[in-house]
Chains A and B, each alone.
Chain A
Amino acid sequence: MGLKEEVISAIAKTLDVGEDELIEDKTLYDSIGVDSTEMVELTVALGKQFAVKIETDEIGKSSTPLEIVGIIENKKQS
């Protein structure tokens, strides 16, 4: 499984939604109606799972899954 698939799977698992509900280029708010508390949970969970430090203002309700994949990818490379 590549990083993209791993991140999308982690988002779905953390937010308790189906992977098919997440649309790669659609914001989390528009696709699954994510709220700000869920974004805090997601930020912490992704940081732990991928061993990177993600600040709460780096990803938000208006982030798409692809943007989140990009942020994690950049952090892992730097």
Chain B
Amino acid sequence: MIKSLSKGIRQDGRKLEDFREVSVEYGASKSAEGSARVKIGDTEVIAGVKMEMGEPFPDTPDKGALMVGAEFLPMASPEFELGPPGIDAIEIARVADRGIRESGAIDLSKLCIKEGEKCWMVVIDVCTINDAGNLQDTTALAALAAIKDTKLPKLEDDGKVNYKEKTDQGLPINCLPIAVTVVKIGDSFMVDPIIKESEFLDARLTVTTLDDGTICAMQKGGVSPLTVDDIDKMVGIAAEKASMLRKSLG
């Protein structure tokens, strides 16, 4: 595999910097306030947003709250088991969370209803339907798409949320942070790894970027260290591929 990769050939015939086909379908779950089904190749996830009324965190009394969870449903792979999220699901959710949070993609200050007492909580859950590799990028993209699709439910005068009535008000979105994972195997860099490729990776770097190339979150994984040159190269690839994924959001 390392030999053929050094010649730029991948198992499924793709070039190193090719993604599989990407599709985004909005409104995948009518029960959610916002939702999307994202497919990258055979990898498929559904993300849904629930808008809840809650209390602001003590350190951000004037802001709404944001939570991202990733559910590796045992339906999606023979490797996934029932039970609380394992470390892989936690990492993927936290990396997706950081991209959205640190980029300021949602203007959380607009989601505060009453300082220190009441605010909207944006709860994003991303459920895997089929795992065929690169759940990180698929999950992050789906979380973002679900936010884009969200319409706030009606807030009644008594302060309760009426889930039966959606308003036409969306979430205050500032920018679209896109996560791209670049994988290093031997001396080759590639994107959108299938499961086989992930098993052989020496290092990976997930880079979340905005449309002007600004980095807003990163996560290194894998056992091998990376040189500064490696990192610079990987950031460049991630930013370039991000623009393609951003377009898929329509």
Are A and B a genuine interacting pair, yes or no? no
Q: Which residues of B contact A (CB under 8 A)?
A: none
Q: Footprint of B on A, CB under 8 Å?
A: none
